[in-house]
A and B are shown apart, each in its own frame.
Chain A
């Protein structure tokens, strides 16, 4: 249930740093869906995504003091917290075992997970914009952003020179910007 009160980002950050519980409830109500979507797009398994979102909000509450508003928006900071935790999650041993057991559902994730809605996790949010990129761009953004590989690792996976990977990723990012707007 979204709270009736609304805050400016500055107010919200100030209250969060004062450990204001109402502000934290607002933060969750307002941003949890967007962050959950990104986590799902990385993790793909619902149970692990739930755990990751929980861990992310616990971290946000506890580490709000390390957020510096001069370096970017609150959402950008939270998005990076979530994405980093999600990538940590998919690299954990437990996750890889769970993924093998479930044979890693891809596009039809929600159908297999038995969700009430058959919403495709790739057709919303940031992924929706990524999906519109050219295939050679899309695969690189997928590896770099949703799988967390370094440029060097991607060069190895795609069997491309490192320079080409860097150039293509930057090109993909400028394309992505166009798709987001």
Chain B
């Protein structure tokens, strides 16, 4: 190949200017490797081109350089991979925080629930107790009411029963309604008997004792209803053994006695 002919052909310039075919480019590359003269001619043209391009060149607007750096920096600061990784990282962190908060809240609310349950139970118990107490008070109150009614009723004749030699300090009062035959007893002072003993009220009718019932409640200011007695000259209370067979005949000592 005639190197000078090639150099003068214009193919070299076409290659440098980027308007040559792929075939022409390969040809030049090969020639440059084999012929230093071709390579030198190519480099000389490149330098000429560069020198001409630089001469009196028009400067680009000053802000462009900054814009280029902004464009180059932007993806480096926040690459897509990091972004998506960041999303999952934050999502995972958020999930963990939510889980921990949830467990914490569960524990907190469970404790609150337990405390409330305890409070509820104790409140329920005290309410029950109050209801029971209230009922007892109601009963007591109605007893007092009936006692007062009885005491203030002129139909009832009070019969004081005074202590006898075996129990000189004992005292009781019978309230007797002659018309209705109703008998009530008020234990003013009857000592609590032994567990196997009980007081028994008697009406003395024509010199003979008639059973008027056992007295269960010996203390308190309430009257207790006894058996009806239509006629009597006196009332007495004896202390008897519990569970005896014949309750129509007194066997124990007379503790209190009162004549009408």
Please report A residues at the B interface, Cβ cutoff 8 Å.
Answer: 25, 28-29, 31-38, 40, 50, 53-54, 57-58, 61-62, 71-73, 75-76, 79-80, 83-84, 119, 121, 123-126, 128-129, 144-145, 169-174, 176-177, 180-181
Contact = CB atoms under 8 A, between A and B. Distances in A.
B18 A80 contact: yes
B58 interface: yes
Nearest to B15: A72
29 contacts: A32-B60, A32-B64, A32-B65, A33-B58, A34-B50, A36-B58, A53-B64, A54-B64, A57-B68, A58-B71, A58-B72, A62-B72, A72-B16, A76-B50, A79-B53, A83-B18, A119-B58, A124-B55, A124-B58, A125-B52, A125-B56, A126-B49, A128-B56, A144-B19, A145-B19, A169-B19, A172-B10, A174-B9, A180-B49
Contacts of A176: 13
Taking residues whose C-beta sits less than 8 angstroms from the other chain, chain B's interface range is 35 or more
Interface in B38-82: 42-43, 45-61, 64-65, 67-68, 71-72
A75 B45 CA distance: 12
A172 B53 CA distance: 18
Contacts of A126: 49, 52-53
B14 A169 contact: yes
A151 to B, nearest CB: 9
A83 B49 CA distance: 14
Contacts of B51: 180
B227 interface: no
A73 B18 CA distance: 13
